[in-house]
């Protein structure tokens, strides 16, 4: 799987600016037990480089997208990161290998509880899961060094930008359901504004607001 992901980095180098995975992300991808973070019926395909259904109309992203999103965040070992859209817990596990602490929010309670249980079983003590509206983030734990959003929003949510530290980065797919979406890197400026950079076209499930 790691070799396949490395090959995709090489293929998309011109778009992403990344020739290969960082050593930290490569090691994380090799360590995380992806087969334990997918439904039992999907375990035989867990290490293939493509997305998989995890129930409730949601998917686990392909390893390439998880690795790329993590690398685009430019994580440091002491960083505190927010993930929006816990899903199966796979992206949170990869992040937990390379940063100090991960806060992750999931709207679908069944998915959030299952992911929390799996992450605890795998020994990730630096991950906290909340059931809630991803658009609202986790303001009590802000500001964050980085934010990764694992579902597509129609535009960059201002509440999430507000929860970034100055200089912090957010990786987020932007576009409507069924549209061509863009994986973006959003960088928070010192004046409170932000800059956006398109990376590659992607296809994610929509980021659904809470009720």
Q: What is the CATH number of the domain that holds 114?
A: 3.40.50.150
Enter the DSSP assignment of 152.
B
In a domain, 157, yes or no: yes
Q: Are 146 and 79 in contact (CB under 8 A)?
A: yes
Mean per-residue pLDDT, 147-170: 96
Instruction: Tell whether the model's pLDDT for residue 55 goes beyond 90.
Output: no
Computed over every residue of the chain, the mean pLDDT equals 93
Query: Read out DSSP for 144-175?
Result: EEEEEE-SBBSS--HHHHHTEEEEEEEEEEES
Instruction: Please indicate, yes or no, if residue 7 is contained in any of the structural domains.
Output: yes
Residues 128-158 have pLDDT tens digits of 999 999 999 999 999 999 999 999 999 999 9
Q: Look up the domain containing 82 and give its range.
A: 2-202
In a domain, 211, yes or no: no
Task: Kindly state the percentage of the chain with pLDDT values over 90.
Answer: 79
Provide DSSP, 73-98: T---TT-EEEEE--TTSHHHHHHHHH
Give the separation between CA 194 and CA 126, rounded to whole angstroms: 28
- Rounded CA gap, 152 and 175, in Å? 6
Match 């493509």 to its residue by tokens.
50
E strands along the chain, which residues?
52-55, 58-60, 80-84, 101-106, 127-131, 144-149, 164-174, 181-188, 194-202
Q: Residue 149 domain-assigned? A: yes
- 66-122: pLDDT as tens digits: 999 999 999 999 999 999 999 999 999 999 999 999 999 999 999 999 999 999 999
Q: For residue 165, tell me if it sits in a domain.
A: yes
User: Is the pLDDT at 24 greater than 90, yes or no?
Assistant: yes
Amino acid 81: pLDDT: 98
Quick check: is 210 in a domain? no
Going by pLDDT thresholds of 50, 70 and 90, the confidence category of residue 178 is: low
Q: Which residue among 61, 69, 88, 114 is the active-site one?
A: 61
Q: Say whether 61 is catalytic.
A: yes
Handedness of CA 15, 20, 26, 30 (dihedral sign): positive
Instruction: Report how far residue 112's alpha carbon sits from residue 130's, in angstroms, rounded to the nearest whole number.
Output: 7
pLDDT at position 136 is: 96
Q: Is 122 domain-assigned?
A: yes
Torsion of Cα atoms, 149 then 150 then 155 then 161, to 10°: 0
- Looking at the 3D structure of the chain, how many domains does it have? 1
More confident of the two residues 78 and 204: 78
pLDDT of 45 > 90? The answer is no
Here the tokens at position 63 are 């390893």
The CB density around residue 163, as the number of other CB atoms within 10 Å, is 22
Residue 60 clears pLDDT 90, i.e. is over it:
no
Q: How would you classify residue 21: left for phi > 0, otherwise alpha for psi between -120 and 50, otherwise beta?
A: beta
- Domain for residue 209, yes or no? no
Distance, in Å, from the CA atom of 31 to the CA atom of 27, rounded to the nearest integer, reads 6
């Amino acid at each position: 799987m790691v070799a396949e992901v490395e090959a995709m980095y090489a293929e998309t180098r011109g778009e992403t600016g990344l020739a290969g995975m960082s050593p930290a992300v490569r090691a994380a991808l090799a360590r995380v037990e992806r087969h334990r973070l997918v439904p039992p019926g999907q375990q035989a395909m867990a290490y293939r480089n493509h997305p998989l259904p995890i129930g409730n109309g949601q998917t686990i992203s392909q390893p390439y997208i998880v690795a790329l999103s993590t690398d685009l965040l430019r994580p440091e070992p002491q960083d505190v990161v927010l993930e929006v859209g816990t899903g199966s817990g796979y992206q949170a596990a990869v992040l937990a290998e390379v940063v100090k602490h991960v806060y992750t929010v999931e709207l679908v309670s069944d998915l959030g509880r299952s992911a929390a249980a799996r992450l605890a079983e795998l020994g990730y003590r630096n991950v906290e899961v909340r059931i809630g509206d991803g658009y609202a983030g986790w303001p009590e734990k802000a500001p964050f060094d980085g934010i990764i959003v694992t579902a597509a929003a129609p535009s960059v949510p201002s509440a999430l930008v507000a929860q970034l530290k100055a200089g912090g980065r957010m990786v987020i797919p932007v576009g409507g359901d069924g549209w061509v979406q863009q994986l973006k890197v959003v960088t928070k400026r010192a004046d409170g504004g932000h800059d956006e950079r398109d990376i590659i076209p992607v296809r994610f499930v929509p980021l659904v607001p809470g009720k």
